[in-house]
Structure 1
């Protein structure tokens, strides 16, 4: 989960009232966070990824003012009209069609603020922006350029400029080949004939989204007026990111101004008007297990909302930076947080069921006896990791409808990619490395998702191979009392002739082998790897499998 680090005095200054450090350390976790580290004046806080508005000390200060009762309800920002505009040229429509922008004037810069702003930008790129593919943010020194601005598509060799952090001009192709950010994000623009660019009245380049800004508009301690651009392929993501960044800068005392976006329809951004949602009070009471009517206004105001009650309906004004509020249940959750989970009395369920446990103890004992170390990985993954990096054909998966990160866009169908990723992160450690996991995957069978528990293991070593892997699998089958057949199997993830299936009663219950060199390379490993994956339930005796 994302972690932000800030100075205690900086947070207190933004809150606008002296709050004891111990009180803050006690209260911050109550809004959905965990204190990661405290080192003198420096505090690190880990936030749940569904609250991108809290990914900066400015956003945290705004939330704490409401939660502590210093400033009730929704924070209001005045965004004045301005004469600045950005025109969307038709040449960018098929490339990266959406742009929103804002101006913040009279900003008082500091080292803490610059660090916070850059970290917020990158965290939003990763979360809302899906690693810049869906949206990317540019933050510029407005005084270095001349409005109006134009957002257009150009041929790669048509424009040259000095990219941020460099001293020489490069054209767009050179940036993608030579610049650190260009190399990292070039895949987003792959196969495009034109690239998006933002220029000012005189043709000076502000930004080459989603890759890099121009050095001309770099923000420093002497910057007073800021221009923000957000471009992307999804308008909601673009507008949400702009609202979060613009209001975070405004928390530092800056004066917000709207920018006219001249497109097929002209609009002014940022749009900081709240959205509305109705929540049935009986529904909220039923979910939380107590009558909320008496406390609901105070509770929801502590979470930074405005609200009123009309008969049995709670009318809620949702701040434009709260992108996580999608359904009435999200409001109910915030009512509970604002009320205080510590005030809610626990109750046993009205009806209870009793079942026998499904124990994998014998499997764990076997794996530990073979020298493996157990690991735990999350069940969310992505299709590139599950299929492309494993060199196998994609198959149907359970996709996440609104993933907070591109890395967590589906439920995994195999544990092996996660285990290989762990090996990749431990390249600096000594060999051999042997890890295993007993965990769930979700497979699609006859159009319906089914949870399956797998036991999977990998070993990396300079001299490991198929013969060793076969002996490990045979030991697992022997120790669990399972008789199975081993037959040759073909899989793109394994070397031809060094992969086998495990069959029981004519059904395949697993497979094992020596990982293909291309897969090893995809996970940035340097030595041979063997792997196996078996349905855990098939390793249980009839008395255990109930």
Structure 2
């Protein structure tokens, strides 16, 4: 965020009241600014990128007058009847130019510094380092309208750039002037450069590089001409509004400019934007309950016009310089800042949409509690594993698997496709414990599925195993039967040959002709791979399929 430097005395002159440092430290956060400290007569603060109207003392004073209730509502703007004319025919790579004038100015050295600071901070933030938008401010008394935004070849025109005493060609400016060196890359690859001149051919500037020394703003300047050149018309118009209204805080009137050419119209357009605000948002978002009358008063402190039109609706008019108001939520934020965050009691606010468990999580919880009731101990293993464990050690041929590209560890190189291998790994690491050992896991597996938009399918599985010298399939079937009665489903067993199980001692579990899972007694070869010397029986069930069958009519 840009750090802004403001003279306290200049700020007090603009506000019309004496300001203590304690007041500033309290008020700045209510404008989304962060107080940085003070040095001599200058106060420093950080302004957010979405509040460019606070990038100088003029905009800050305008906002503070609202919070201090010196002035309420949208600032009044007096538009000058006489219009300056301008013609726009710039280069195609920077085609847009918009203008304004401000009259009746009373400037001093500090005021000139603030105008320069406003330009600088806008350039490095909203203007994208002059790539998107660039700004120029000139002494209007030294210029003779109409104004022309045009283009010229690099060596065709000469003028004296700002802070220089001699004339240079446009090409020389890019090579010798500090701003030309810094920003020359924006235009030097083109055959023609942008140029702003008056009716007598006097050069005002070479946008977006540098202004002319002849038209610079001084303490004696009483009226200024503002130009904004841009690649994006909307961005240019918004920046013009910020600059014109800020400088006008030190003047009397803003003058309109009638533009013809690439873009035709009259600028600046300071028409406020209207927004219908639903005040119920205030309680939902901020957590405070205020009437539409109170909310309207708070918005006026933030320099907006607000009028209640019903018990819940407020018609809000937003000044043209407020670029941050895009949504009713932004209005709610301004109400909160005007109210004062320190005045909002830290009470817990019930969420508008209370959370609830996902159906599969609720069903999984029931299964976990049931398995614990059967005397099984739950284990939780990583979804990340390796193909050696999933297939080689389980005596299975390798299957399509979601793998990690360039894994950092070979043990975590893919995502599991079934749970039984990890139960075997747990039992292998628990050989020192007493038998029987009864463990289970409820967890997710990921399978390759070419019909899915992600080419994968995630499933929730239940796997349980019994390890004991006297363990038989009968023990496993007893648990499965009890589980089916507990959950309310019927199943059939169909014999299968599975490489991980002993032939003749494995089966497929079928529910309503759908495959629910597998069960069997682990092959001795697999037991040997895991260095186990007791029989192990295991089952794995697809919980997603089971849940669908239970809720289907």
Specify if TM > 0.5. Answer: yes
Deviation at 1:234, TM superposition (A): 1.1
Mapping of 1:515-534 within 5 angstroms?
Answer: none
Deviation at 1:507, TM superposition (A): 8.0
Match in the other structure for 2:202:
204
Match in the other structure for 1:522:
none
For residue 151 of structure 1, the aligned residue among 143, 149, 152 is 149
2:346 and 2:122 map into 1 onto residues whose CA distance is: 36
For residue 134 of structure 1, the aligned residue among 125, 132, 145 is 132
Deviation at 1:278, TM superposition (A): 1.6
Aligned residues: 363
Deviation at 1:264, TM superposition (A): 5.2
Tell me the alpha carbon deviations over residues 394-431 of structure 1, each in whole angstroms, 9 at most, x when there is no partner: xxxxxxxxxxxxxxxxxxxxxxxxxxxxxxxxxxxxxx
Contact conserved, 1:108 with 1:254, CA < 8 A, in 2? no
2:115 and 2:44 map into 1 onto residues whose CA distance is: 16
Contact conserved, 2:103 with 2:251, CA < 8 A, in 1? no
Contact conserved, 1:79 with 1:256, CA < 8 A, in 2? yes
Match in the other structure for 1:84:
84
Tell me the alpha carbon deviations over residues 231-264 of structure 1, each in whole angstroms, 9 at most, x when there is no partner: 1111122112111111121111343211111235
Tell me the alpha carbon deviations over residues 289-328 of structure 1, each in whole angstroms, 9 at most, x when there is no partner: 2323252111111111101122232211010000011111
Match in the other structure for 1:70:
70
Pair 1:176–1:236, CA change in 2 (3 A)? same
Contact conserved, 1:95 with 1:194, CA < 8 A, in 2? no
1:6 and 1:208 map into 2 onto residues whose CA distance is: 29
Contact conserved, 1:95 with 1:153, CA < 8 A, in 2? no
Pair 1:130–1:507, CA change in 2 (3 A)? farther
Match in the other structure for 2:182:
184
| SS of equivalent to 2:82 | coil
Is 1:322 paired with 2:322? yes
| SS of equivalent to 2:38 | strand
1:241 and 1:313 map into 2 onto residues whose CA distance is: 30
Contact conserved, 1:87 with 1:262, CA < 8 A, in 2? yes
Pair 1:318–1:175, CA change in 2 (3 A)? same
Match in the other structure for 1:48:
48
Pair 1:303–1:151, CA change in 2 (3 A)? same
**Quick check: which has more Rg, 1 or 2?**
2
2:100 and 2:74 map into 1 onto residues whose CA distance is: 21
1:304 and 1:172 map into 2 onto residues whose CA distance is: 43
Match in the other structure for 2:400:
none
Contact conserved, 1:232 with 1:238, CA < 8 A, in 2? yes
Mapping of 1:27-426 within 5 angstroms?
Answer: 27-89=27-89, 92=90, 94-263=92-261, 266-294=264-292, 295-311=294-310, 312-348=312-348, 350=350
Pair 1:175–1:502, CA change in 2 (3 A)? farther
Contact conserved, 2:91 with 2:192, CA < 8 A, in 1? no
Deviation at 1:506, TM superposition (A): 8.8
Contact conserved, 1:81 with 1:259, CA < 8 A, in 2? no
1:260 and 1:82 map into 2 onto residues whose CA distance is: 10
Deviation at 1:209, TM superposition (A): 0.4
Pair 1:216–1:269, CA change in 2 (3 A)? same
Is 1:22 paired with 2:22? yes
| SS of equivalent to 2:408 | strand
Is 1:505 paired with 2:410? yes
Tell me the alpha carbon deviations over residues 254-295 of structure 1, each in whole angstroms, 9 at most, x when there is no partner: 432111112356322111111111221222321122323252
| SS of equivalent to 2:135 | strand
Which residues of structure 1 form unaligned runs of 5+?
354-500, 510-546
Contact conserved, 1:7 with 1:42, CA < 8 A, in 2? yes
2:213 and 2:125 map into 1 onto residues whose CA distance is: 25
Tell me the alpha carbon deviations over residues 437-493 of structure 1, each in whole angstroms, 9 at most, x when there is no partner: xxxxxxxxxxxxxxxxxxxxxxxxxxxxxxxxxxxxxxxxxxxxxxxxxxxxxxxxx
1:318 and 1:5 map into 2 onto residues whose CA distance is: 27
1:349 and 1:259 map into 2 onto residues whose CA distance is: 51
Deviation at 1:158, TM superposition (A): 1.8
